[in-house]
Amino acid sequence: MSKIVFRILSISFTVLVCILVVCGLYRIGQDCYEFGYRVYTEPPVADGKGQDVLVQVRDDMDLKELSGLLEEKGLIRDANLFWLQAKLCGYKEEEGIYTLNTSMTAREMVEALKPVEEEQEEAEE
C-alpha cells in the first residue's frame, strides 16, 4: 500500500515540476517577446511638444552610463532598452552637450547624439 502511495506522490510531484517549468518558460518567452517588440516600437516619453533637456556626454562615459543618465533625466523609460536600441543604431559615444526632448524616440535621440562631422559625411553620400 505504501508503495502505491509513494508512486502516486512521485508522479504528482513530477507532473507539478513539469507544469512549473512550462509556465516559467512561457513567462520568460512572453517577457522576451515584449522586450524585443519594444526595441522597435517604444513610444516617446511625452506626447506633443515635450520638454527640452540638456545632456552632457563626457569622454569617459560609456553607453550604459549614458542610458542611465537619460533614464534619470526622464528622457527614456528603460535604460537597458535604450542601450540595446542605441547599439542596433550604431551609436558611438562622442563628448559634448546635447539638447534632447522628451517627445523624441530612441532613434531620434541616437541621431541627435551623433557628432556633427558624422552627420555631414552621411549627407554627402
29-44 residue pLDDT tens: 999 999 999 988 899 9
pLDDT of amino acid 92: 83
Helix (H) or strand (E) holding 97: strand 96-101
User: What average pLDDT does range 44-65 have in this prediction?
Assistant: 91
Residue 94 pLDDT grade (very low, low, confident, very high; cuts 50, 70, 90)? confident
Which grid cell sits at 101? Answer: 526632448
pLDDT of amino acid 119: 47
DSSP state of 100: E
Provide DSSP, 22-47: HHHHHHHHHHHHHHHHHHHHPPPSS-
User: What phi, psi does 56 have (nearest 5°)?
Assistant: -100, 120
The amino acid sitting at 3 is K
Burial of residue 94 (number of CB atoms within 10 Å: 0-12, 13-18, 19+):
middle
Residue 123 pLDDT grade (very low, low, confident, very high; cuts 50, 70, 90)? low
pLDDT of amino acid 98: 92
Cβ–Cβ under 8 Å, residues 102 and 46: yes
d(CA 74, CA 22): 37
